[in-house]
Amino acid sequence: MDQKPPALVTGASRGLGAAMAETLARRGWHVVAVARTTGGLEALDDRIQAAGGSATLAPMDVTVDAAMQQLCRGIHDRWGALPVWVHCAVEATALSPADMIPAKDFGKALETNVTAFVRLVSYVSPLLRAAGGGDAVFLDDEGARKFGAAYGATKAAQREIVRAWQAEATTATAPRVHLLRPAPMATAVRARFFPGEDTSGLADAREEAARLLDEAGLARAG
């Protein structure tokens, strides 16, 4: 059994999620990497192993309730607790005017960014408490954008859930809940909302991952 403490990263196959996973692995965590894209996870694992780190790949969809229950049960059975959860899974729907949002697109954003997120919080919270509190890291952004109402609305709901959890986390074993704002980065999610943007001035995802994890106090494992 890997003796490194586990860190769960949901949405780990690309962009900031992958950068978070790689950075945590370099800092001594055993990364449990969750994403729908098996190929992206395998490429991530190659990079982590090349840098001397370790990971467990979990090719799962966070919207599948049974899969998330299985994931959290597996973490409990293997480690008994979870010191770190970094949530980067997000559904960025196609651009659409606010008065013409397709019901299917809004449903997908709602399911991933709100409904599945609420379930995950309830499943992961006991594992964080078992670690003596643990750290839960979530990402904020600048909010609604032109033609991005579905994404903006569901991310706003997620933000309020996180803020409520922060306010409620007052006991000694309550998780330390972080709501962090990355600088604009050249990621696929941003490209969806800013097509054709000059990316030369955008932040590097790996540098942002290191900065954000430092902000959360996760410099090294343990």
Catalytic machinery residues: 151
Q: Are 102 and 53 in contact (CB under 8 A)?
A: no
Kindly list the distances between the CA atom of residue 114 and the CA atoms of 35, 124, 162, 166, in Å, as whole numbers in the listed order. Answer: 17, 15, 11, 17
Return d(Cα 120, Cα 82) in angstroms, integer: 13
| Strand-pair category, 6-10 with 30-35 | parallel
Return d(Cα 79, Cα 99) in angstroms, integer: 48
